[in-house]
Structure 1
Amino acid sequence: MQKKDLSRFLIPLSVTMFILVLVGCQSPEVQSTDHKTWSHYGGSPDQSKFFESPSITKENVGQLEMLWSYPSGDDRFYFFSPIIVDSTMFVLGKNSSLIAINALTGEELWIHANLPGITRRGINYWESKDKSDQRLLFTLNNSIQAIDARTGKSIENFGNNGYVDLREGLDRDPTSITRIQSMMPGVIYDNLLILGSAPGEGYFSPPGHVRAYNVVTGKMEWIFHTIPHPGEYGYETWPKDAYKYVGGANVWSEISVDEERGIAYLPIGSPTYDYYGADRLGSNLFANSLVAVDAKTGERLWHYQTVHHDLWDYDLSPAPQLLTVNKDGKKIDAVSIATKHGFVFVFDRVSGEPLFPIEEKPFPKSEMPGEESWPTQPITSLPSFTRHEVTKENLNPYFSDSLRQDWLKRLDSAKTGLYVPPSDKYETLMMPGALGGANYGNTAADPDNGIMYIMTQEYASTYRLNKVEPPKNELTNNDVDKVKSLYGSSCIACHGPNMEGGAGPSLKNLGHHMFYEDFRNIVINGKGVMPGLVHVDEASLKALFQFLGGDPERRNFRRGQGEEVPIEGPVVASGGVDIPPDTQRGAPMQEYPEGTDHPEVRYTTDYGLDWPGLIDPPWSSILAYDLNNGTIKWRRPIGVDSLYAKGDETKGAPNGTQRKGMVITSTGIVFATAKGGKVYAFDSEDGSVLWETTLSNETNAQPSMFTLNGKEYLVINATSNFRSDSYDHSKKSGAISKGYVVYGIPDKK
């Protein structure tokens, strides 16, 4: 394989010209994007979070008040982003129930109860041209299901008796796939649901191929192999037969669609295993790539790979933004992607031609056995929006003298800097790390003015590779030490030094009242504000469960939907359709397929998220990126001051932008949520704060807007607990219950 051959990263010019002619001559059947409704996650299929809001202006936004709220009904966290169709709002609450409420009053219209395992962040709405068929589509326990949006009842002639099994169609044994559904809803285009996945990032995770399903029949209409099969473009960028065992390379976040042209833009993530790639030597297309495909067929139109042979978990997370830019006096329809490592890449939306220069620059070589890091990485000429090193000069100024001295010594033996490969010989301090830079929900745009808005956080990761040990049946003293280390690095901040709880619940005797399957699902996938620990191997998971008093061999044979819980209100159905109980059970792939070449030793590391406040503040910011000239127009810090900055070293630093979101209005307002229950209205021109409020509970979802009777409303999901490094406003006098909060300008009396 020729490592210097970069032609495969961009589509050849001759093919590009063919696409220009083909797409330019097509007569689109779908109308251009309407930004006057919010019936999709992100507002519309372009994921711009842009909304036509003529009645809320810079002059009157300061008059916004909470008009009503709808309580979520229990103490769970819901990351759900409401969608609104006509006068009906759809939310998630009351023991994972889908609920239709009157968008003007909050009155419950129907409840489809008990849907644990439903996609956490949102659902899709589709209607036929005559509106006789209106349905909600979502994933649940590795299946796709559909509900009648008017009645709330399951549509049982969808798919196979009401469901589609997402484990099928991936060229892997379906019984070996224990997790595949995405936490994001996907996107509706015409009569298709285009869907990504979240298969996990451990060795032998399933592949993250992107698929499109017919919204009426449930039939899979097309599949795009993100890990190419033999004979497909990009196959040669992997070892022979790598598609049989490599996983990931998935779209776990937001897919954007140019409805007028019929092009879907896929932000594809990292391949497995994220931090050690000796079994996937090569550049690894289409991992870490922005890929444009024909939305009707899934055919690749063009692509660009932003990280070659990723070893840093720098997957593409935020939504690609579709904008019209005015560059050198010429209007160009562009697509822009912001990255975890702080770069912005901008391309012609049709041809894939970069609008700003990108240079392949050399970076350090990996010293790990069997590993071959790619010699160069693409660096855009546009200014970065994050820092890329942890230095003695930018250490957190609030550290005590003793803690500072510890870190000064640690830095002497560690390596830091952009694209420093992980090692088992020394610690690498990656800035930003796995949760740094721009993440899902962290980009928005004014589509006509060429301005992209980015939320970003300065969050380092500390990595050190360790050998994957063969699984053991007994919990040895060495296992106990490892489990205690795992608990100390990943669990203690929320669950307390004695497992008595804190920001998270108590874990004392957890194993006595939980089955291993459920425990494993929570640890790997995350729950509430807890991130999924996808890199913990199976042996360590079982050891941790035993450490908490559990028996990994005690099996749970309940059905996939979980036990029904009595719910008050207009309940019309419960649990979705019946699905086989094995959609989340099976025997995960544990070894390489027979006959495939592979390294003798595997290595892993955790996310290294112990020190979110490692460098000096501000830790979280929002910025306006002017893509007409490639400059950062303004930048403002967001979120509460951390208690860490007040001198309490037992607390963490702000995690202010992940799981947050924005709404951009046609009147020049940028609504943004941030850590500590903060909601801002910024002036889009200069970033000045026009309005600000603090919620009674934390928000971890995309805000929404809607118009009813000529008046605009802002909806915020405030259903999360505050973390231990925030002030708890839920205990203040006048605080409201967890739920969905609707803001508007009160009518004049």
Structure 2
Amino acid sequence: MSSNPKSVYSEVLPIAFALLFGTAFISCQSDSSTSVPATWTHYGGSPEQSKYFDAGEITKQNVSQLEVAWVYPTEDELPYFFSPIIVDTVMYLMGKNASLIAVNAVTGKEIWIHSNLNGITRRGINYWESKDKKKKRLIFTINNTLQAIDAVTGKSVLEFGDNGYVDLREGLDRDPTSIRRMQSMMPGVIYDDLIIMGSAPGEAYFSPPGHVRAYNLETGKLEWTFHTIPHPGEYGYDTWPKDAYKYVGGVNVWSEISVDTQRGIAFLPLGSPTYDYYGADRIGSNLFGNSLVALDARTGERLWHYQTVHHDLWDYDLSPAPQLLQVNRNGKQIDAVAIATKHGFVFVFDRVTGEPLFPIEEKPFPPSEMPGEEAWPTQPISTLPSFTRHEVTEETLNPYFPDSVRQVWLGRLDSARSGLYVPPSDQYETIMMPGALGGSNYGNTGADPEKGILYVMTQEHASIYKLNKVEPPKIDLSVNEIKRVQALYATTCQTCHGVDMEGGVGPSLLNVGQHMFYDEFRSTVVNGRGQMPGFVHVDEETLRALYRYFGGNPMSFNFRRNIDTKTPEGPVVASGGASIKSDEKRGSPMSDYPEGVDHPSARFTTDYGLEWPGLAAPPWSSILAYDLNNGTIKWRRPIGQDSLYVQGDQSKGAPGGVLRKGMIITSTGVVFVTAKGGKLYALDEENGDLLWEETLSHEVNAQPSMYVLNGKQYLVINATSNFARDSYDHSKKEGALPKGYVVYALPD
């Protein structure tokens, strides 16, 4: 095995030999026990999404000896967020201009490349094989369609769906041609011959609903639909206003679905209804918003549910994977499911009955002062210890703030309100801790299932909200809009597109609105394009203001698809996926209530208030181990490194944000964790003590993977993101590795 990334990458197999080589690797296994691979075939390792791996080579005693076995460079300027999967001896990853690539999991040699999959879900794909193992497929979403690629040849499976694809816009109570965004940024989950799919329909007024659907993996046929916003006659319909299903959107699974494969139960972590922060048009508790729902995975029938937030006004949707564990309670072993939340709570239930294993109390909270709004009078509070703070005060302000900034914030705190479940207002700022991107998010939970230990990664970032009345669109920007757009640009766009919008890693954005229609611009920002990630938390009003800031008129629309068709070097076997037919006519996105439906006279919106991620004192991120046998936090450890607001020697930093990172829990008691600043840790499961630490040459923004081949255990880290601050840019240091997938193993 070579530790030289260039030697791995430069040896390109001829296409014919690559296909033959790939077929042999996928199809054959030795009878020797040391040759049978333990692989990572799902985003979270398995349909249970536990991130748990059973292998014995890497232990607490030798983990510090891990070294780079090989690297696969992506050869791209912009980051990838893809979590590789490994099937038998083949690793599937993404690189080279949004291409899916199959490589030899021992050497990193390319087997095949399916290039130019622009618009593909950026965080992962699914693998499925038929019971006779004759059909092996990679399943993924791209440009609002579900598609399949032959895992052996790398070519599109054209008998899947309608000439190679399924239109995910269909069957959602809306005109399919009016839907601009549907596919989730996460892969679905495989159960038997079904793929169960979530979605990301958007979070604006009149976004499509996030119904959960299951498709047959052989044919692409829709097998069942679970209406997350109930239709008339369905359970939960009376928790909404009459006909709400016709205009309310969201209530979607945009993250990880977990499946108890033995019982055939799918556990859905459902998100918030739209609009997130003002719900006068959805008075009621709003099932199944913000609920953990257990479904029969074969039929989609609801078995039980629990709502963690009633009538959500804070974007506290359920994000991380529900974790399936065995716990001992009162001398009895119980199969449990645990869910961690954005707002810092852990809820634990009997997996079969839905009965809480630890008490949950309904506690009163303040009413809303907004016209027409009716905040739910109580909210469920778990009696398990919380893992986040719930307010920002003078005492908890970031101590690294310069005095001038601190004084400004002391004044803002005097006129703002902060605390758990304080409803947003148009009269004052509401400082929520944690905010829209705080707490535990997708990829941020794992488990040691047999020991009953739940692992939670948490990010303590606040959001600052203030509702504004939605006014008719206008071209000129107000002072407040300019401030909001400039803050968004500084935190989201500037790293790639430059301080003056003149370009850098990414292209220039100067006057981009004059040569890109709004619909195309919106789709690019929200869904991403090529290696540019999508930014799902930018609301419609801010998108329109940003477009005007770039010189455009948001009332113009265009439905062209501009795709960079550059073909990378290597064994390219196909390009672009299945050919998607253009709509003969395109409907406009829903923009008002259906005729005859009662609705409020005004709408209010706010942005996500993310411009001050380090408002409170560090640590900003930590990992915790919950012992769910007794309901205690076993240990807590700050992780990551960030120079945010730190004065003086910024290389020291403070524990930084953990969102979009991940973990692996091993059977030998080693917990691998990735964190901000390019950090990779190996921790002791017993106490959280540090066993090994590595600083990667590039930032990590994906779930790590693990596999065993020929008795050798490998750890895969996707290190393809840029560092946000120069003081943390390790890519320029001597011996730095290229952007790519870094594979670690113990020395021979």
- Does TM-score exceed 0.5, indicating one fold? yes
Secondary structure of 1:581's counterpart equals coil
User: Is residue 416–residue 431 contact of structure 1 (8 Å, CA) maintained in 2?
Assistant: yes
* 1:738 alignment partner AA: K
1:558 & 1:370 partners in 2: Cα distance?
40
Secondary structure of 2:645's counterpart equals helix
Secondary structure of 2:523's counterpart equals helix
Unaligned runs of 5+ in 2: 1-35
* 1:361 alignment partner AA: K
Matched residue, 1:596: 597
The two structures have a TM-score, normalised by structure 1, of 0.91
Report how far residue 172 of structure 1 moved. Answer: 1.2
Instruction: Say if 1:162 and 1:726 are closer, same or farther in 2 by CA, change over 3 A.
Output: farther
Per-residue CA deviation, residues 307-339 of structure 1 (Å, 9 max, x unaligned), is 000000000000000000011211100000000
Report how far residue 644 of structure 1 moved. Answer: 1.8
Matched residue, 1:67: 69
User: Is residue 202–residue 536 contact of structure 2 (8 Å, CA) maintained in 1?
Assistant: no
User: Is residue 654–residue 725 contact of structure 1 (8 Å, CA) maintained in 2?
Assistant: no
Instruction: Say if 1:653 and 1:613 are closer, same or farther in 2 by CA, change over 3 A.
Output: farther
Moved more, 125-134 or 580-589: 580-589
1:559 & 1:488 partners in 2: Cα distance?
28
Q: CA RMSD in A?
A: 2.1
User: Is residue 440–residue 457 contact of structure 2 (8 Å, CA) maintained in 1?
Assistant: yes
Matched residue, 1:537: 540
Report how far residue 275 of structure 1 moved. Answer: 0.2
Moved more, 293-302 or 483-492: 483-492
Matched residue, 1:150: 152
User: Is residue 100–residue 110 contact of structure 1 (8 Å, CA) maintained in 2?
Assistant: yes
- 2:121 is aligned with 1:119: yes
Matched residue, 2:304: 302
Q: 2:171 aligns with which of 165, 169, 172?
A: 169
Q: 2:371 aligns with which of 357, 362, 369?
A: 369
Report how far residue 276 of structure 1 moved. Answer: 0.2
Matched residue, 2:489: 491
User: Is residue 635–residue 687 contact of structure 1 (8 Å, CA) maintained in 2?
Assistant: yes
User: Is residue 361–residue 379 contact of structure 1 (8 Å, CA) maintained in 2?
Assistant: yes
* 1:663 alignment partner AA: I
Instruction: Say if 1:505 and 1:53 are closer, same or farther in 2 by CA, change over 3 A.
Output: farther
Per-residue CA deviation, residues 696-746 of structure 1 (Å, 9 max, x unaligned), is 111100000011111110000011111127610011111111110100001
Matched residue, 1:607: 608
Question: 1:599-748, aligned counterparts within 5 Å?
Answer: 599-646=600-647, 656-724=657-725, 727-747=728-748
Instruction: Say if 1:536 and 1:185 are closer, same or farther in 2 by CA, change over 3 A.
Output: same
User: Is residue 652–residue 725 contact of structure 1 (8 Å, CA) maintained in 2?
Assistant: no
Instruction: Say if 1:518 and 1:718 are closer, same or farther in 2 by CA, change over 3 A.
Output: farther
Matched residue, 2:4: none
* 1:58 alignment partner AA: K
* 2:184 alignment partner AA: S
Matched residue, 2:384: 382
Matched residue, 1:329: 331
Matched residue, 2:525: 523
* 2:665 alignment partner AA: I
Report how far residue 646 of structure 1 moved. Answer: 2.6
Report how far residue 480 of structure 1 moved. Answer: 4.8
Moved more, 515-524 or 201-210: 515-524
User: Is residue 619–residue 654 contact of structure 2 (8 Å, CA) maintained in 1?
Assistant: no
Per-residue CA deviation, residues 383-434 of structure 1 (Å, 9 max, x unaligned), is 0000001001010111122211111111111000000000000000000000
Between the two proteins, the alignment pairs up a number of residues equal to 707
2:647 & 2:331 partners in 1: Cα distance?
50
Report how far residue 74 of structure 1 moved. Answer: 1.3
User: Is residue 483–residue 547 contact of structure 1 (8 Å, CA) maintained in 2?
Assistant: no
Matched residue, 1:415: 417
- 2:54 is aligned with 1:52: yes
* 1:537 alignment partner AA: E
Instruction: Say if 1:407 and 1:482 are closer, same or farther in 2 by CA, change over 3 A.
Output: closer
User: Is residue 641–residue 654 contact of structure 2 (8 Å, CA) maintained in 1?
Assistant: no
Report how far residue 262 of structure 1 moved. Answer: 0.3
User: Is residue 179–residue 584 contact of structure 1 (8 Å, CA) maintained in 2?
Assistant: no
Report how far residue 226 of structure 1 moved. Answer: 0.4
Moved more, 407-416 or 551-560: 551-560
Instruction: Say if 1:624 and 1:503 are closer, same or farther in 2 by CA, change over 3 A.
Output: farther
Moved more, 219-228 or 632-641: 632-641
Question: 1:60-139, aligned counterparts within 5 Å?
Answer: 60-139=62-141
* 1:532 alignment partner AA: F
Secondary structure of 1:646's counterpart equals coil
2:550 & 2:584 partners in 1: Cα distance?
26
Secondary structure of 1:568's counterpart equals coil
Report how far residue 585 of structure 1 moved. Answer: 6.1
* 1:116 alignment partner AA: N
User: Is residue 82–residue 702 contact of structure 2 (8 Å, CA) maintained in 1?
Assistant: yes
Instruction: Say if 1:246 and 1:632 are closer, same or farther in 2 by CA, change over 3 A.
Output: same
Report how far residue 510 of structure 1 moved. Answer: 2.9
Instruction: Say if 1:492 and 1:183 are closer, same or farther in 2 by CA, change over 3 A.
Output: same
1:403 & 1:555 partners in 2: Cα distance?
41
Report how far residue 94 of structure 1 moved. Answer: 0.6
Instruction: Say if 1:522 and 1:572 are closer, same or farther in 2 by CA, change over 3 A.
Output: same
Instruction: Say if 1:583 and 1:458 are closer, same or farther in 2 by CA, change over 3 A.
Output: farther
Per-residue CA deviation, residues 143-163 of structure 1 (Å, 9 max, x unaligned), is 000000000000001001110
Matched residue, 1:184: 186
1:394 & 1:351 partners in 2: Cα distance?
41
User: Is residue 99–residue 117 contact of structure 2 (8 Å, CA) maintained in 1?
Assistant: yes
2:175 & 2:523 partners in 1: Cα distance?
20
Question: 1:398-437, aligned counterparts within 5 Å?
Answer: 398-437=400-439
Instruction: Say if 1:500 and 1:310 are closer, same or farther in 2 by CA, change over 3 A.
Output: same
Moved more, 295-304 or 549-558: 549-558
Matched residue, 1:343: 345
Instruction: Say if 1:554 and 1:274 are closer, same or farther in 2 by CA, change over 3 A.
Output: closer
Matched residue, 1:352: 354
Moved more, 263-272 or 167-176: 167-176
Q: 1:462 aligns with which of 436, 461, 464?
A: 464
User: Is residue 444–residue 664 contact of structure 1 (8 Å, CA) maintained in 2?
Assistant: yes
* 2:684 alignment partner AA: D
Instruction: Say if 1:558 and 1:272 are closer, same or farther in 2 by CA, change over 3 A.
Output: closer
The two structures have a TM-score, normalised by structure 2, of 0.91
Matched residue, 1:570: 571
Report how far residue 128 of structure 1 moved. Answer: 1.0
Report how far residue 353 of structure 1 moved. Answer: 0.2
* 2:59 alignment partner AA: T
1:554 & 1:735 partners in 2: Cα distance?
46
* 1:110 alignment partner AA: W
